[in-house]
Structure 1
Amino acid sequence: MRDVLIVGAGPTGLILALWLTRQGVGVRIIDKSVGPGETSRAMAVQARTLELYRQLDLAESVIAAGHPNLSLNLWARGKRRARVVIADSGGSATPYPFILIYPQDEHERLLVERLEALGVTVERQTELVAFEEKEDHVAARLRMPDGSEQLCEARYLAGCDGARSPIRHQMGASFEGGTYKHVFYVADVQVSGLEPPGEVHVALDSSDFVAVLSYGKADLGRLIGTVSDERAEHAEHLTFDDVGHRAIDGLGVKVNKVNWFSTYHVHHRVTDRFRLGRAFLLGDAAHVHSPVGGQGMNTGIADAINLAWKLAAVLKGQAPDSLLDSYQQERQAFARQLVETTDRVFTFVTAEGRFANVVRTRIAPVFASIAYKFEGVRGFLFRRVSQTAQNYRDSALSEGKAGSVQGGDRLPWVSGADNYRPLSTIGWQVHVYGAARPDLQGWCDQHGIPLHVFAWSRAHRKVGLAQDAAYLLRPDTYVALADPQASPVTLSRYLASRGYTLR
């Protein structure tokens, strides 16, 4: 019997398989497709994803294969109204102050290679037909490549099977939300005349908009835009020549060749159940939203990492089954907030009418240019888009506050202090910035938890850390407990109250 059966080998399913395998959990991963995708909608890899990729030594490989876009340009009515240098916004917040453009199909192939290196192969043309929960496992009926059926038993089932998720349907979970009337188009193109090259460009013109994401090579780029008039009713028959070009023309670029073009409808929905017994929903199976901000794939990856350490802890007998309930609590709250945020932004950039056009193309660009001059505004916007602002403060797993850092927060990164170096491992750890109490080392040794002590500096205070406090970090590098007294008694009480046995 396998520990976890993963259905769906997109980025979410592959990341779940990688994190579980690295923690010694036995997985089986299946996908009904014949191979990794040949085309790609998801393009952006956000800073928080790269931070978490350090745990599998993935970050540098992904960065080397992709193209860091260091600035974002906002255009309106044919003129560049604002330029946001992302390094200015996020350089003090993360080691990765940029938007990495890395097509999903290439991303998937890299993840498959890493998984195969760990001894796990994606079983292609294999489909889940149905499943039944038993007392201590899930019995899944699979359709194999030759059409025969096979019974697979696993302790848990992970549905990473996309927006039309059969697993979600069998769970009886709702998928409340709606569908935007606009139809999105995506096009891989060769362009010339884009200035500055190698950066992100967003152009607004009346109710038309387009985003240009640079691959950083051979004038290749990805165009993302919308079709909102009567042509949207026949989207499946559209070509690139049929979509509006006003925003594209406003950038002063020439599209020399269209390598790939596709249209699709976008939904904004969140399921009411991320967990039902031994079955879980992740990624698009649990939540979908507009592509504004490049959040979708990154959110699915975060789902996988959140669930992976919890499944590993329960399977190893280090935590009770109730730990798995926190997956829904933490990830559903974030998904709902994300859908609400991206919905507001998308509604703004596509709103129709004379007044909406004036606000979007005249007032908003001026406001953005002025607001960008303030460091606080720049930092806030970067943290939201990069997902480094994401926290679990309301989680039952979060406790305490030391400095301005609370339980549930992402551990602040301190430039030059290398305090993220220990985060390259998957496991619990304690950080102290300053001096550690003599009895704290003994407590950490007793529980098999590494203790990392960093010499105190003003840089630590600047990011909100408290001198000599103890920060107990979860395996996904979020702060579980922040204790200003660094008391082993408080640490023990935290673990005991949640039934953790980490040895």
Structure 2
Amino acid sequence: MSEHTGTPLPAATDVLIVGAGPVGLTLAAALADRGVDVTLVDRQAEGANTSRAAVVHARTLEVLETVGVAGELVDRGVVVPRFTVRDGDQALLSVRFDGLPTRYPYTLMVPQDVTEQVLLDRLHAAGGRVHRPHEVASLVQDGDGVTATMATGETVRARYAVGADGMHSTVREQAGIGFTGDTYAQSFVLADVRLDWELDAREVMLYFAPAGLVVVAPLPGGRHRIVATVDDAPEHPDMADVQALLDERGPRKRPAKVTEVVWSSRFRVHHRLADRYREGRILLAGDAAHVHSPAGGQGMNTGIQDAVALAPLLAAALRDGGSAADLDAYEAGRRPVAASVVRFTDRMTKVATAGGATQRRIRNLLLRGLDRIPAVHRTMAMNLSELAVDGHRS
């Protein structure tokens, strides 16, 4: 079933979701399964998204079981049971996921476009669709619902609207919700490459270096994801750019050779949190509500978990005639989780980008010491996998 490009929008719907990335698709599928009439719009044409977010953590796979896509994602991804922090050839700290209390004791590496296709297929199976390209120009709400006006002048009347439209969310701005935080000084290089690489393909490796960090992680099809901090990244990093990063920051004894850049980009990283997740009948999820460092690969994961938490609450509110108490529970449950992720990833980023030589030596000594403490391994694994958000786990 193809997406609905250029087709008229419905005049009315129960829930209007703005943004058809992983968060919007998850929410739409979960609501459609509950019999909610959903209209999902996105300003981008079909196929515009690329690999971008590539990490799916254990807690996200658990919640995606309720949507019915966890198994297919595992089949299409690369299972990685270990995360290692290194300085050149020296391992500083190794975090294993294979002892975690979950059916998914690993990190799953799968490109975002694959995740989105799996979720889109699931939405189609539930009878839903994506309307493209439709850009929301304004939102006006009253006591009974929200009227969304598109850039084309078309309008949709919804009982509720959800902004899953990313960091520069029009929905959040229209709702008048603040987005408190800051921007990191460094820019980031993001690239999917093919490598001549002799190290373990079952690890995500984070390399520290005086010039900054570089992450190397396996992807399906023999590719690798590269993430690196630089002062001013080129708009489209090429093979020479990525090779220089690996030569300067990666392994020494068995260096990696880049043979192809499949896709690349640059981006600036923010750490911001919405002042609230709800303004009347308008709600936020995913990057519209929280953004943070890519350290740990937790952005998309936290957003998908938002969507799975919000779906039953919205469905209950619709059944109960719009119970405010149901929707207040969403912010109460999810905003503290996002705040914790923002703090955790901010600490990881600051440790990884420590400045002077003395600071780096102290950091490396501290990490080697922590690597000898089993409790530290478990705490790191629980935080990275986001299983720590479940207070019933030990």
TM-score for both structures, normalised by structure 2: 0.91
- Is 1:354 the counterpart of 2:357 in the alignment? yes
The residue that corresponds to 2:9 in the other structure is none
The residue that corresponds to 1:244 in the other structure is 245
Aligned-partner residue type, residue 380 of structure 1: T
Paired residues of 1:183 and 1:235 also in contact (CA < 8 A): no
Q: Which runs of 4+ in 1 moved over 3 A?
A: 80-85, 237-240, 242-245
SS of 2:315's equivalent?
Answer: helix
Distance 1:166 1:17 in 2: 19
- Is 1:104 the counterpart of 2:112 in the alignment? yes
Q: CA deviation at 1:216?
A: 4.5
Paired residues of 2:213 and 2:229 also in contact (CA < 8 A): yes
Q: CA deviation at 1:333?
A: 1.5
The residue that corresponds to 2:288 in the other structure is 285
SS of 2:186's equivalent?
Answer: strand
SS of 1:263's equivalent?
Answer: strand
Q: Pick closer, same or farther for the CA change 1:340–1:83 going to 2, 3 Å.
A: closer
SS of 1:190's equivalent?
Answer: strand
Larger radius of gyration: 1
SS of 2:213's equivalent?
Answer: strand
- Is 1:155 the counterpart of 2:156 in the alignment? no
Distance 1:364 1:209 in 2: 17
The residue that corresponds to 2:368 in the other structure is 366
Which residue among 76, 88, 96 is the counterpart of 1:65? Answer: 76
Give the 5 Å matches for 1:421-436: none
Aligned-partner residue type, residue 356 of structure 1: Q
5+ unaligned residues in a row in structure 1: which ranges?
A: 392-408, 413-462, 464-503
SS of 2:387's equivalent?
Answer: coil
Distance 1:282 1:37 in 2: 21
The number of equivalent residue pairs is 379
Aligned-partner residue type, residue 3 of structure 1: D
Q: Pick closer, same or farther for the CA change 1:369–1:23 going to 2, 3 Å.
A: same
Q: Structure with the greater relative contact order (CA < 8 A, sep ≥ 6): 1 or 2?
A: 2
Give the 5 Å matches for 1:271-420: 271-317=274-320, 320-360=323-363, 362-371=364-373, 374=374, 376-391=375-390, 409-410=391-392, 412=393
Distance 1:83 1:249 in 2: 16
Q: Pick closer, same or farther for the CA change 1:227–1:61 going to 2, 3 Å.
A: same
Aligned-partner residue type, residue 379 of structure 1: R
Distance 1:82 1:378 in 2: 8
Distance 2:313 2:265 in 1: 38
- Is 1:16 the counterpart of 2:15 in the alignment? no
The residue that corresponds to 2:62 in the other structure is 51
The residue that corresponds to 1:118 in the other structure is 126
The residue that corresponds to 1:77 in the other structure is 88
Distance 2:138 2:306 in 1: 23
Aligned-partner residue type, residue 244 of structure 1: L
Aligned-partner residue type, residue 22 of structure 1: D
Q: Per-residue displacement from partner, 1:169-218 (whole Å, max 9, x unpaired)?
A: 11111111111001110111111233112321121122421111101533
Q: CA deviation at 1:150?
A: 1.3
The residue that corresponds to 2:217 in the other structure is 213
The residue that corresponds to 1:492 in the other structure is none
TM-score for both structures, normalised by structure 1: 0.72
Aligned-partner residue type, residue 62 of structure 2: E
Q: CA deviation at 1:275?
A: 0.4
SS of 1:34's equivalent?
Answer: coil
Paired residues of 2:238 and 2:261 also in contact (CA < 8 A): no
Paired residues of 1:207 and 1:351 also in contact (CA < 8 A): no
Give the 5 Å matches for 1:224-263: 224-228=227-231, 232=232, 235-236=234-235, 239-242=238-241, 244-245=245-246, 246-250=248-252, 252-263=255-266
Q: Per-residue displacement from partner, 1:281-332 (whole Å, max 9, x unpaired)?
A: 1111111000011110011111111111111111112883222112122222
Q: CA deviation at 1:153?
A: 0.7
Distance 2:245 2:147 in 1: 50
Q: Per-residue displacement from partner, 1:34-92 (whole Å, max 9, x unpaired)?
A: 0144422211111111111111221111100111111223321333344443213x1xx
Paired residues of 1:6 and 1:13 also in contact (CA < 8 A): yes
Q: Per-residue displacement from partner, 1:370-423 (whole Å, max 9, x unpaired)?
A: 12xx2x3332221111111104xxxxxxxxxxxxxxxxx35x5xxxxxxxxxxx
Aligned-partner residue type, residue 119 of structure 2: L
SS of 1:294's equivalent?
Answer: coil
The residue that corresponds to 2:51 in the other structure is 40
The residue that corresponds to 1:139 in the other structure is 147
SS of 1:244's equivalent?
Answer: helix
Distance 1:29 1:260 in 2: 28
Aligned-partner residue type, residue 181 of structure 1: A
SS of 1:217's equivalent?
Answer: helix
Paired residues of 1:78 and 1:252 also in contact (CA < 8 A): no
Distance 1:110 1:342 in 2: 27
SS of 1:9's equivalent?
Answer: coil
Moved more, 188-197 or 311-320: 311-320
Q: CA deviation at 1:158?
A: 0.4
Q: CA RMSD in A?
A: 1.9
SS of 2:65's equivalent?
Answer: helix
